[in-house]
Amino acid sequence: MKYDIQYGKAEVNVYRTHGMPLVGVTTIPESPFSGRDNILMAAEIEIQVRGQGFLESYTEGDNRSVVATDTMKNFIHTASADSPAATLEGWLDYVGRAFLTQYPQMAAISMLGRELPYPSVIVPADDGSGFTGSRVLFARDRNDGSTARLDLELRADGSISLIDHVCGRQGLQLIKITGSAFADFARDEHTTLPERKDRALFTWMDIGWHYTDGADALGTDASRYVAGDQVADLAATVFHEFVSLSIQHLVHEIGGRMFERWPQLGAVHFEAQNRTWDPGVVSETNPLVKTYADPRPPIGRISLAIRRD
């Protein structure tokens, strides 16, 4: 018999106050983002553990090497409190390395994280000069957020290596009311979709990226770190500027701009959905005034992966 063993703890929500500020991020023309103070850092964290050292718990019921998943949950909180990282990826890397140091029977692990955004609430400034971000009050943002996955391995010599990674921005939902088209597509007796030279395009989009050097993902050198906030801003800027002839056309343009802005990236990938609203009524007196309805299922899905040659 051959066994592929994996177990772990998922949906561990961690809220960390007064983390290391993220400073020194290289700015891009498409985004105002240059860093964050990290007064509140929040993420949903998951650990996936692999290793033949746990085989006897499956075959014999011998749990002497098993780290209980409840212990994993507690350890994630302890290591998170100690983490000096200013980025989600750095946070996961620190916690993952702490696991492999504490529990060497874990031959390899994957650390997954999903940012839980809590932006600072805008409040009147104390000096009456206008408005500023509160340093004590934050509001849950349920829109897009950053994600990451790091695969770590414990070597025979006791060293810990980052063997793979993927970073992302998930949950983008963008509607452009004009400046998009879908026409001249293949038609046959099964085609009923009308051509639209201009349409209101609503797309849901997840964007992922992979660094050529995985160390850049951790944010230790912030100038080489790609922040998910910047990726979201870049995608929105391209969508705003670009007259796309399809969602495929749009995501390819976004990918090309990402490679242009961040030469440290080796690959990008997209998962997009076509959620374009169904046309409703056009005003008889002003053609710019229109109504729309939610689209009927099913939903179109578009994927693209681009790698540097």
- Indicate which residue of 9, 147, 176, 203 is catalytic: 9
- Indicate which residue of 2, 26, 27, 69 is catalytic: 69
Whether the bond into 298 is cis, omega within 30 of 0: yes
Exposed / middle / buried, residue 106 (Cβ in 10 Å: 0-12, 13-18, 19+):
buried
Q: Is beta strand 196-211 parallel, antiparallel or unpaired with respect to 160-182?
A: antiparallel
CA quadruple 127, 132, 135, 139: dihedral sign: positive
Q: Which of 41, 63, 47, 56 is nearest to 11 (CA)?
A: 47
Contacts of 272 (CB under 8 A, 6+ apart): 203, 204, 205, 206, 247, 250, 251, 301, 302, 303
Exposed / middle / buried, residue 77 (Cβ in 10 Å: 0-12, 13-18, 19+):
middle
Exposed / middle / buried, residue 211 (Cβ in 10 Å: 0-12, 13-18, 19+):
buried
Active site residue 69: yes
CA dist list (Å): 52 to 35, 151, 157: 41, 17, 18
How many Å separate Cα 235 from the centre of its chain? 13
H or E segment and range at residue 34: none
Active site residue 132: no
Is residue 50 within 8 Å of 107, Cβ to Cβ? Answer: yes
Helices (H), the chain: 55-59, 69-82, 88-102, 228-241, 247-261
Catalytic residues: 9, 69
